[in-house]
Amino acid sequence: QKQFGPSSLNLYTGQMANISAAHTITHAIFTWAMAGTAAHDYTEMRTVVH
């Protein structure tokens, strides 16, 4: 039962932190890409209107 000690918990916590960071980065990139696309579309629409 020594396997389930602090080192095992640290490994698990570290993995969770890595997954969380990767998810946050992916979400940020996705949000940035969506915002950029929306801004581009908006600019094109304005150009067409004027």
pLDDT at 3: 57
Task: Tell me the pLDDT tens digit for each residue of 15-40.
Answer: 889 889 999 999 999 999 999 999 88
User: Above 80 in pLDDT, residue 1?
Assistant: no
**5 band by pLDDT with thresholds 50, 70 and 90:** low
Domain range summary for the chain, segments of one domain joined by +: 1-50
Q: Convert the chain into a string of H (helix), E (strand) and C (coil).
A: CCCCCHHHHHHHHHHHHHHHHHHHHHHHHHHHHHHHHHHHHHHHHHHHHC
Q: Would you state the pLDDT for residue 33?
A: 93
